């Protein structure tokens, strides 16, 4: 009998599933704001041993003590490896647990019907935050967010989402095409937005499993992803306006 490798053990898989949901933010203002927000689930506060005494640091430690959050102290180099931004971390980093982060397999196991927005190359953090906010407020069940070639969750995104990031299911993917393919095999129809499409987004009858793909702010949906879509739909516009900001487009789709 083949032995179960350490990497396949239930303990390892449980830890991996947990840390896949952990986001590390940095910077004194961003960290303090997150600590003060009781809605935010926090794993650990990281501080540099080289930090000089400061009121904001004492406030952070006091909040951590009150909330029962572990505080870890590191040398400057070790902290920079945690924050991944030595120039801007200001000697502090914070591990946030995003309970709604997951993968397509676990999402499909929990949902028999869904409406999803997939993001293809969205690079502006503010746009990402506003998209998350609109989706959380509207009729969207999840957002598919690539881990490469796109804006990632950051203090800027958290601020632009006005806290809704912690309420919105987000499916992380290292390969958007493969993830969309997986959903198609699950009887999902995929739509892309195009100003040249003849069908208005308002006139469509959408199936129980639907994905809308929104593309890069300047270049739109990539050709590779576009080929995977079942149909293109348009948002009719007046007075010669050619396109809308991607976050505005997400808002319209979220409230269909």
pLDDT tens per residue across span 170-210: 998 999 999 999 999 999 999 999 888 889 999 999 999 99
- Which candidate, 254, 206, 253, 250, places its Cα nearest to that of 230? 206
Burial 77-98 (b: 16+ CB within 10 A, else e): eebbebbeeeeebbbbbbbbbb
CA–CA distance, 154 with 145 (Å, rounded to integer): 13
Query: What's residue 71's pLDDT?
Result: 98
* Domain 6-97, CATH class in plain words: alpha beta
Rounded (5°) CA angle 175-176-182: 95
Query: What's residue 22's pLDDT?
Result: 87
Query: What's residue 226's pLDDT?
Result: 93
Residue linked to tokens 């990632």: 152
* Confidence band for 100, pLDDT divided at 50, 70 and 90: confident
Query: What's residue 5's pLDDT?
Result: 53
- Which candidate, 185, 179, 186, 188, places its Cα nearest to that of 225? 179
Per the CB < 8 A criterion, the answer to whether 179 and 228 are in contact is no
Residue ranges per structural domain of the chain: 6-97, 101-254
- Which candidate, 166, 175, 164, places its Cα nearest to that of 120? 175
pLDDT > 70? residue 23: yes
pLDDT > 50? residue 4: no
- Specify the CATH superfamily of domain 101-254: SPOUT methyltransferase, trefoil knot domain (3.40.1280.10)
């Amino acid at each position: 009998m083949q032995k179960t490798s350490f990497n396949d053990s239930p303990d390892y898989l449980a830890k991996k599933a947990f840390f896949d949901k952990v986001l590390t933010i940095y910077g004194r203002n961003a960290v303090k704001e997150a600590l003060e927000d009781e809605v935010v689930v926090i794993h650990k506060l990281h501080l540099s041993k080289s930090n000089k005494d400061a009121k904001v640091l004492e406030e952070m430690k006091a909040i951590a003590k009150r909330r029962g959050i572990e505080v870890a102290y590191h040398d400057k180099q070790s902290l920079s490896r945690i924050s991944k931004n030595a120039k801007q971390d200001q000697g502090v980093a914070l591990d946030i647990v995003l309970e709604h982060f997951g993968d397509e397999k676990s999402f499909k196991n929990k949902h028999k019907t869904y409406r999803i927005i997939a993001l293809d190359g969205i690079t502006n953090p503010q746009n990402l935050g506003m998209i998350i906010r609109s989706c959380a407020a509207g009729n969207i069940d999840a957002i598919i967010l690539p881990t490469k070639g796109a804006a990632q969750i950051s203090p800027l995104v958290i601020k632009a989402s006005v806290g809704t990031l912690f309420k919105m299911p987000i499916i992380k993917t290292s390969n958007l095409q493969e993830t969309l393919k997986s959903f198609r095999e699950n009887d999902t129809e995929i739509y892309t937005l195009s100003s040249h499409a003849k069908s208005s987004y308002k006139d469509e009858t959408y199936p129980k499993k639907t994905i809308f793909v929104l593309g890069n702010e300047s270049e739109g949906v990539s050709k590779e992803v576009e080929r995977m879509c079942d149909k293109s739909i348009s948002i009719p516009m007046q007075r010669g306006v050619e396109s809308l900001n991607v976050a505005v487009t997400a808002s319209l789709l979220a409230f269909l």
